[in-house]
Structure 1
Amino acid sequence: MSRRRYLGTGAALGGALLAGCSGGGSDGTTTSSTDTTTDADTTTQSQSYTASVAPVGDVEFDSVPESVFTVFPQYADMAVALGHGDAINSVYVPKMSGTTMNQYYARLDDVSFDWEGLPDPLSDGLSKEFLYSLDSDVHLTDPAWASTQQNWSQSDVEEIRDTLAPWFGNFYSGTNADAPDGYADAYEYYTLWELFGHVADVFRERARYEALASVHADLMTTIEDGLPPEDERPTAVRVTYSDGSFWTYHINWPGYWQADTRPLGAHDAFADEDWGQLWGQVGMEAMAEADPDVILHLWGMTPNYDMAQVRSQLESHDVGSQLSAVQNDRVYAQGMRYQGPVMNLFQLEMTAKQLYPDVFGEWPGYTGGDYPQIPEDERLFSRADVSAAIDGDV
């Protein structure tokens, strides 16, 4: 092993998965006795500690990770939130993920993510060779998800765990979908903020986590107290528009991919549609039949989509131009479903204003660039408190 020694997991994956992983909330790290490691030239002492997450189980570390592998940006956002963004060594589509994250961070003092130069772990499919080349201290990735990737077997997952660095992640809580074969007994479903708590334990950053969780709890109270009665709420869809059809997502299903829409309680215009999964594809005629009050365009705040062009295409379409959301100027840019905690705060505020402007204040609109500047007295959470937490002033 190189600069760090991975001490092992409490769950042996594969044929002997350990049941009874940690509960929903994370109670902090457990410190074990002082561990001594010796190589040919040096002897070092470090205080080991344990973090836990399903389906991995207990993972013991002898130092805080300094090189961290991520695939989806929710984990990169978690690392930034915990003051360890510079440890990230890879992220999915860096220009899209990093640019979008920084569009939110632009509204926070001294917070940014240096994504340029980071590789995309999925550009050619996940590979063991790529993981070995990075030589990470931890892989913030679900081993259950890794086991489903092309050319991966359970033995490959175990090899990376045993010879390189531990896995630490939970993918299927995104939609509460069934875990793959061999993992069901060890699986547990977390909210976004519960999962964030477990990741905080990896970095030994309970204070930062608690401070940010307090901001989130206050925001949720503001939202819950302000929601109008159900019969006064709008119908809405979350979509991605392309070439006359919509990739459409259920907005109120369980899972942390809906952590910015489900709490707002709008009526899903496609609630009765069974696509066999979270999303489906519908044409313009089906959208016109549903005719939602609000269209939330997923990925609209990423550099991958030009919202002015999306609106123009809808307005110039014979059927699209008749949609209530188009006629009432209620087609809104949304962020990413792969949201971490900081992204979630902004996306909750955004969605609240888009769905309920009479309650939470008008959404100023978005045509590109950074998250809109919102007057201080119209913000739904404190930017200063978030910046302070990330800076460690807690």
Structure 2
Amino acid sequence: MNGERLSRRQSLSAITTAGIGAVAGCVGGTEESDETDDADGSHGGDEHSDEPVAETESAVDTPYEVCMDPMGCQEFDAVPETWVTNDGTYADIGVALDVTDGLEGLGEPHRYYTGYYDELPGVSLEKEDLPELAPDRSADRELFYELDVDLHVIDPKRMEHTFGLDEDDVEELEENVAPFFASYMRHRNDEWQQDYEYYDLFEGFERMAAVFRRQERFEQFRAFYDEFLADIQSRIPEEGPEVLIVRALGDEPEEFFPRYIDDEANFVKRWRDLNVRDNLEGSGIPEWGTRLDYETLADLDPEIIVAEGQHDDDITLDEERFENVLVSYMQSHPLADSITAVREGRVYPGGINYEGPITLLFQTEIAAKQVYPEEFTEDDLFDREELAAIITGDA
């Protein structure tokens, strides 16, 4: 920020909630006085609030704080202008808030698909121009110093447990460069996630809106999404067809990783929202460390199979290639006729399972048309221009 740049550990300082007192600002977009106490929503005392706290978009001068596990509460004297993040979830949130002019790097750019933005006028992100922070899941600590951003939108625990840094490394980067402020939201299956709160996608989205002072943008987006989802759910049965979610091992797969439609993981939210039944439920098949062969698929005999991907070049993001290569290969298998989904042509591409709010919209639309093709015959289930106007601030 040049002369107005946030000073390290002064303007963007991690603070515990004990002894802070009230921070001038607003709660949920409503201004509060400097003298508010705990009963009025301040963050003094021993426990922080579950709700994010921040200023409105128009006021940017006074300090504000935002609370999120595992960091606790973070105080900001100014809105971060430059930032980095890890994968597609928070990068997509940044696009939805229209703050990616300040995005300086991505940890795993191959886990971020930007193709859906092509359908939104005025919305884009050229991720090829951004440096990769963690090649082969090994964080380049010196690159963090070189980029010298105002905020690391990365879960610090994920840095320690996935990207080869230890707690001292993370503390050093916080002290000398900038704080870490994010919470891993894709799923909650790792041991290191169990000792702090797990947020759903929109809870994390709201906290990022509070950090970047784009709460009004968030509220508009959330209202748009809620209306979209309400319309879909008004048109589907309470109990839908049985779906098996997998990740295919290769374009011509002999084996598949199973994916349960659990009660909280964000990367299967759209399947919960569509009221499908999980083909794996009650099967006794472990979700992690297990591979399904065609014999197991035949025993499970799902009505629908959805193959999801994790990378931006996966076949699951190319409908024509998916049909001509992966589906054709499955149909040629000797056991194809024993698997209802394969026999009846109901094997579908599931896109990428690193979802932010924009990706979720598009992939929920795709999934609804796959699961309920006779109900959802429209080309589009939401207005692209209206969504783009919300994102760009023209709504």
User: How does the TM-score come out when normalised to structure 1?
Assistant: 0.81
Matched, 1:143 2:156: yes
What is aligned with 2:36?
Answer: none
SS in 2 for 1:357: coil
RMSD (Å) for aligned C-alpha atoms: 2.7
1:62-84 deviation per Cα after TM superposition (whole angstroms, max 9, x unaligned)? 33222211111111111111111
Displacement after TM superposition at 1:157 (Å): 1.7
1:281 matched to 2:291? The reply is: yes
Task: Give the equivalent residue in structure 2 for 1:85.
Answer: 100
Which residue is equivalent to 1:229? 238
Seen in structure 2, the aligned counterparts of structure 1 residues 188 and 210 have a Cα distance that, compared at 3 Å, is same
Specify the alignment match of 1:59 in structure 2.
74
**Mean Cα deviation higher: 109-118 or 121-130:** 121-130
* Cα pair distance change 1:389/1:179, threshold 3 Å: farther
Match of 1:180, SS state, is helix
Q: 1:318 to 1:380 in 2, by over 3 A?
A: same
The percentage of aligned residue pairs carrying the same residue is: 30
Specify the alignment match of 2:214 in structure 1: 205
SS at match of 2:291: strand
Cα distance in 1 for partners of 2:190, 2:56 equals 30
Does structure 2 retain, via aligned residues, the 8 Å contact 1:332–1:354? yes
Residue 271 of structure 2, aligned match among 261, 266, 269:
261
1:165 aligns with 2:172: no
The answer on whether the counterparts of 2:110 and 2:312 sit within 8 Å (CA) in structure 1 is no
Match of residue 47 from structure 2: 20
Shift of 1:278: 5.9
For residue 304 of structure 2, what is the aligned residue in structure 1?
294
Matches within 5 A, 1:304-383: 304-305=314-315, 306-307=321-322, 308-320=324-336, 322-361=338-377, 375=379, 379-383=380-384
Amino acid at match of 2:15: G
Instruction: Map residues 230-245 of structure 1 onto 2, 5 A cutoff.
Output: 230=239, 233-242=240-249, 243-245=253-255
Aligned pairs (5 A) from 1:94-105: 94=109, 97=112, 100-101=113-114, 103-105=115-117
Partners of 1:30 and 1:49 within 8 A in 2: no
Maintained 8 Å contact 1:175/1:278? no
1:4 and 2:6 are equivalent in the alignment? yes
Q: Which has the higher contact order (CA 8 A, sep 6+)?
A: 1
Cα distance between partner residues in 1 of 2:224 and 2:288: 29
Counterpart Cα distance in 2 of 1:30 and 1:143: 27
Q: What SS does structure 2 have at the residue aligned with 1:298?
A: strand
> Deviation digits for residues 79-114 of structure 1, max 9, x if unmatched?
1111112222222443562xx32x211111111111
| Equivalence for 1:365 | none
2:145 pairs with 129, 132, 137, which one?
A: 132
Unaligned runs of 5+ in 1: 13-17, 35-45, 362-373
User: Taking structure 2 as the reference length, what is the TM-score of the superposition?
Assistant: 0.81
Secondary structure (helix, strand or coil) at the match of 1:106 reads: helix
1:116-149, Cα deviation, whole Å (9 max, x unpaired):
1222222141232232122121111111212213
- Name 1:120's counterpart in structure 2: 132
What are the ranges of 5 or more consecutive residues in structure 2 without an aligned counterpart?
A: 18-44, 316-320
